[in-house]
Structure 1
């Protein structure tokens, strides 16, 4: 097949459900190589099985990161299956981080059911997370071509950023004052870096030019930051029936998310009142409702929405410069446009 024919084949429409099925099949196959006790926890956490081990079908996650890997391969004219090792690897890293986050934060529910540590115990959940991280690199080293080693190095950098971001997030819990610059740096490491790497790895395994790989990485980082900004809004005002988390969940945990930090730093009376509520210790439902009102009054919610929109716009500019063809970039542009409008 010629390069032109390959590009034509890659640009043929493929449904998001087909991509999801492709990733889920490969993800489950990789998890099935783990030792039985660890596999059971991983399959439960990823949504493939219930606590009794019964098969549930598709995984429960959003699938954004692996989808970006496949889409970036397609955008540079290759069959998305060349990026399948990248798609599985970034999803395994993401699932590892969620497993450990749930333990550290004491979260009791994820994806509308008990978290893995509540079902299998804290120590078992931690070990399962470790296994998923190790498996991610094993999957990626199985990729073919000259780019496999470079892909592993990039994933390693993303994991180091993720861990650093999580450490900063924990540190914020002990501090009374956080700046928006610090909050942005933390979110970039904890969330945006992995989304950027998902894009870069997809293009890298598709043998795109270095400049294109780096541009798609920056595109992913911009929409990754928009994703976190939107996530922080949902952590306060999301519908529990959709998000699977309690109402005002981030406030009940006194989390210093973007809307909270923006409100506290606004210099307004509402911002000062919010800071005082946070200083008083654990928030109950009444205090959380009042805190949510104060965040809106202080402009924290509006600032967060505006910043999320700005990050999407920045990402789209980078994308158009890297992939000027509207047909090739259209799929990624649609994903970027949907980031701020999601409800979970």
Structure 2
């Protein structure tokens, strides 16, 4: 095995988006193509490999954020990208299964700027496609013969369990001011942070790192998930659909838990009272949602959310600094964390 170049220049070459894609996407394509043909077609469409007619698109699979995190963390513990190739692909499969299901649950008609899978193939088949990606993800991890297989398989199963718990909690818990913030954090830790923790911890499990390193990486993933989700909530209300690929204000239209709104509702002011009236109503017209957005900002919800997101990002970086990774990998992960939270290029 050749020596790994751990200089900043060498690591940037190893972890460039093109390199991550060339390492992970062939595994994703191969695994998906082996599914039952109808499910393979739906999953390939969702992943961006084909269009609705089955013709190749030359694109695919989004930004591979979780694969990039795992690959960078692998270098940080002395591994090469190939050492976690299967696991990185499996995590992308698992992540995409949640996106297919989320779009159905939320009735979101767009994903990455084009019709969501359920709009093209129907909800029933799309549900099965999401289930198939979950099963495939776990199979890929279990079938890999490398070191730490049992521990990594357990980490993936736990991540899936938490994601499903968070999704259920989001649908059944109606958040209000005050106590709603704690419940919001729990939902995010399950739905979002769990997969990011899995991405960061998996290479350390493969390398046999001690518990204090695993704990630091879990902490980094937890706070990164919170920073990202809060920032994403802000983007849902005030972002540009051309950037997000989804309609604006979808969460407040569905009354989904949204941190800026929760923060605004927690304020004691006439503005918050008016927002509370609208929040508990059933209005979904554009003017209604615009008023809710304006009231949320006026009550300080946007400012509070943006400040807290920055705070969680800082905490994620503090935990990362305790993970004893190589300096080059730590620098790369620091840049990745910033891109994830702030959507920088």
Say which structure, 1 or 2, has more relative contact order (CA 8 Å, 6+ apart): 2
Question: Hey, what's the Cα distance between the residues in 2 that align with 1:324 and 1:208?
Answer: 11
SS of corresponding position for 1:340 = helix
Are positions 1:333 and 2:304 aligned together? no
Unaligned runs of 5+ in 2: none
CA contact (8 A) 1:66 1:88 kept: yes
Q: How many Å apart are 1:213 and its aligned residue? A: 2.8
Alignment RMSD: 2.0
Q: How many Å apart are 1:288 and its aligned residue? A: 0.9
Cα separation, partners in 2 of 1:73 and 1:159, compared to 1, 3 Å: same
Q: How many Å apart are 1:61 and its aligned residue? A: 1.8
CA contact (8 A) 2:23 2:81 kept: no
Are positions 1:53 and 2:70 aligned together? no
Cα separation, partners in 2 of 1:294 and 1:31, compared to 1, 3 Å: same
Partner of 2:70: 69
SS of corresponding position for 2:341 = coil
Question: Hey, what's the Cα distance between the residues in 2 that align with 1:266 and 1:339?
Answer: 29
Q: CA deviation digits over 1:176-220, x for unaligned, max 9? A: 666111111111111011111111113222443343233222212
Partner of 1:194: 195
Unaligned runs of 5+ in 1: none
CA contact (8 A) 2:113 2:245 kept: yes
Partner of 1:242: 243
CA contact (8 A) 1:60 1:111 kept: no
Are positions 1:283 and 2:284 aligned together? yes
Question: Hey, what's the Cα distance between the residues in 1 that align with 2:119 and 2:283?
Answer: 22
CA contact (8 A) 1:24 1:58 kept: no
Q: How many Å apart are 1:271 and its aligned residue? A: 1.5
Question: Hey, what's the Cα distance between the residues in 1 that align with 2:146 and 2:175?
Answer: 47
Q: CA deviation digits over 1:304-324, x for unaligned, max 9? A: 111111111111111112136
Q: How many Å apart are 1:325 and its aligned residue? A: 4.2
CA contact (8 A) 1:227 1:340 kept: yes
Question: Hey, what's the Cα distance between the residues in 1 that align with 2:272 and 2:22?
Answer: 46
Q: How many Å apart are 1:343 and its aligned residue? A: 7.0
Q: How many Å apart are 1:254 and its aligned residue? A: 2.4
Q: How many Å apart are 1:238 and its aligned residue? A: 1.2
Question: Hey, what's the Cα distance between the residues in 1 that align with 2:335 and 2:103?
Answer: 30
Partner of 1:16: 17
Partner of 1:107: 108
Question: Hey, what's the Cα distance between the residues in 1 that align with 2:287 and 2:61?
Answer: 32
* More moved, 222-231 vs 198-207: 198-207
CA contact (8 A) 2:213 2:322 kept: no
Q: How many Å apart are 1:58 and its aligned residue? A: 3.0
TM (norm. structure 1) is 0.93
Partner of 1:259: 260
Q: CA deviation digits over 1:222-264, x for unaligned, max 9? A: 1111111111111111101221212222222222311111111
CA contact (8 A) 2:77 2:203 kept: no
- Map 1:60-99 onto structure 2 (within 5 A): 60-99=61-100
Question: Hey, what's the Cα distance between the residues in 2 that align with 1:108 and 1:222?
Answer: 30
Partner of 1:117: 118
CA contact (8 A) 1:230 1:339 kept: no
